[in-house]
Amino acid sequence: MPLVNMRDMLQHAYANGYAVGGFDLVSLDFIEAIMAAAEAKQSPVILSLAESHFEYYDFRLAMQAAELAAQRASVPVAIHLDHGASFESAVTAINAGCNGVMVDASQESFNGNVALTQKVVNMAHQCGVPVEGELGYVAGVEGDDAEKHPGDVVYTSVEEAKTYVAQTQVDFLAVSIGTVHGRMQGEPVLDFDRLKQINDALNIPLVIHGGTGLSDDQFKQLIANGVAKINYYTALADAAGAQMCANVKANARAGYTGIVAGIQDAIRNEVERCMDLWGSSGKADAVLSVSEKWMPVHHVIIYNVDIDDDAQVRRMMSEGETVLGKIPGVRRIVTGNAVQENAKYQFTWLVEFVHENVIASYRDHTDHVAFANNLFRPVAGDRISIDYRQNHF
């Protein structure tokens, strides 16, 4: 089960002078191609789902596929929410299985950015999930011509970065030093002095957004100055697009499978090139040996009720499914009745937590405390509760 803690993965990259790709996916073809590249190169990899792309695919469906791909992999994988815009986005992503989240409040005022990031970090860390923040502003839109959405690049200030990281406790920082999202015309000019100063001041893994269009030498200098994660999308989308155009040109009557033929190879070749260039190729075993495995915990309760009112018991269970299912770190909640009429315990709750940390944060969460004290415990005096670590996926 090679889903691993993304903090351990990126700490290893940071300490060993290479960068892991955070490759944004928009379809099954991307997932398969990225994972095939990671296996071929024995590289750690981050499957990244950008909130701005959720209009192109069903996030929950894609999460199931990403998670299954990670579970089947032999290389270490993390699943990351890219550019999450709100606290609610972060909770939804964690409960759906992301084990890394980005909170992007970089267009807010400094204080607004700090406030939202602190709130997300506090919640995510209680779920064992590391957080990437962004300070400064990387303009442009993934998958489009950067020039069409210039905005103003706002460079990350070294002083603000120190305060931001100290106040928010983010695990990784996305910095703005001259890259833009999307297709570039010409070579971007990067401020490496600024990057070096930020790295010296912070000593945490740094992240570069807008990886498309940078030169080999620029990538090397970024990594030499603390960049341990590189976000990459447009070049993959363009490689797939070029293949589809070529397919149509070769056969104007091509159907769906004819049009998309070969795009996985096109994406995979580009991902493999990046893995070699960024130095993550061949690091899979080393990362696995230092990383916490990302395994859920099952909170199991079996109980009997002291009342005869079946409708009240059903209402209590259904209220619990709704309220408790929204608590950060709860992946799944199932209520059940015993199959055997003479079973020693007649009812059950099965609550799946994303990580062991959630045992404590769930127990103390106000919604859980209110539900347990007002609706559950008064009728379920006879009960057994145990948390089980899952051994295998």
What positions carry a catalytic annotation?
82
Cβ contacts of residue 331 below 8 Å, gap of 6+?
A: 95, 96, 97, 296, 352, 353, 354
| Nearer to ligand 13P among residue 25 and residue 358 (C-beta) | 25
How far apart (Å, rounded) are the C-alpha atoms in residues 351 and 390?
12
Shortest gap between Cβ of 145 and ligand 13P (angstroms)? 11
Which one of 3, 33, 47, 50 is in contact with ligand 13P (CB under 6 A)?
A: 50
How far apart (Å, rounded) are the C-alpha atoms in residues 90 and 110?
20
| Nearer to ligand 13P among residue 76 and residue 210 (C-beta) | 210
> Which residues lie across from 361 on neighbouring strands?
none
| Nearer to ligand 13P among residue 194 and residue 209 (C-beta) | 209
Are 34 and 48 in contact, with CB atoms under 8 Å apart? Answer: no
How far apart (Å, rounded) are the C-alpha atoms in residues 102 and 130?
9
| Nearer to ligand 13P among residue 231 and residue 361 (C-beta) | 231
Binding track over 10-39 against ligand 13P, x by CB under 6 A? --------------x---------------
Shortest gap between Cβ of 11 and ligand 13P (angstroms)? 21
Phi and psi angles of residue 210, each rounded to the nearest 5 degrees, phi first: 75, 45
Question: Which residues within the stretch 174-203 sit at the binding site for ligand 13P (CB under 6 A)?
Answer: 181-182
Shortest gap between Cβ of 177 and ligand 13P (angstroms)? 13
* The two structure tokens encoding residue 386: 């145990």
Shortest gap between Cβ of 231 and ligand 13P (angstroms)? 3
Rule CB under 6 A: is residue 104 a binding residue for ligand 13P? Answer: no
Which one of 18, 164, 232, 362 is in contact with ligand 13P (CB under 6 A)?
A: 232
- In DSSP notation, 72-111 reads H-SS-EEEEEEEE-SHHHHHHHHHHT-SEEEE--TTS-HH
Binding track over 74-103 against ligand 13P, x by CB under 6 A? --------xx--------------------
Bin 297: left if φ > 0, else alpha if -120 < ψ < 50, else beta: beta
Are 328 and 123 in contact, with CB atoms under 8 Å apart? Answer: yes
Using CB under 6 A, count the residues that bind ligand 13P: 16
| Nearer to ligand 13P among residue 53 and residue 368 (C-beta) | 53
Shortest gap between Cβ of 392 and ligand 13P (angstroms)? 32
Q: Which stretch binds ligand 13P (CB under 6 A): 39-47, 114-122, 228-236, 343-351?
A: 228-236
Q: Which stretch binds ligand 13P (CB under 6 A): 38-46, 91-99, 206-214, 219-227?
A: 206-214
Q: Which stretch binds ligand 13P (CB under 6 A): 84-92, 159-167, 231-239, 343-351?
A: 231-239
Listing from the earlier edge strand, what are the strands of the sheet with 330-337?
A: 330-337, 347-353, 297-304, 382-389
Which one of 7, 209, 355, 368 is in contact with ligand 13P (CB under 6 A)?
A: 209
Inter-helix orientation angle 87-96/110-126, to 10°: 20
* The two structure tokens encoding residue 322: 């709704």
Residue 299's H or E segment, with its range, is: strand 297-304
| Nearer to ligand 13P among residue 223 and residue 351 (C-beta) | 223
Residue corresponding to tokens 């064992």: 128
List of E strands, 181-290: 181-183, 206-208, 227-232
DSSP 146: G
Which one of 231, 281, 291, 335 is in contact with ligand 13P (CB under 6 A)?
A: 231
| Nearer to ligand 13P among residue 172 and residue 233 (C-beta) | 233
How far apart (Å, rounded) are the C-alpha atoms in residues 236 and 158?
32
Question: Which residues within the stretch 113-142 sit at the binding site for ligand 13P (CB under 6 A)?
Answer: 142
Are 180 and 212 in contact, with CB atoms under 8 Å apart? Answer: no
Shortest gap between Cβ of 387 and ligand 13P (angstroms)? 35
Interface residues with ligand 13P (CB under 6 A) are 24, 50, 82-83, 142, 181-182, 209-212, 231-235
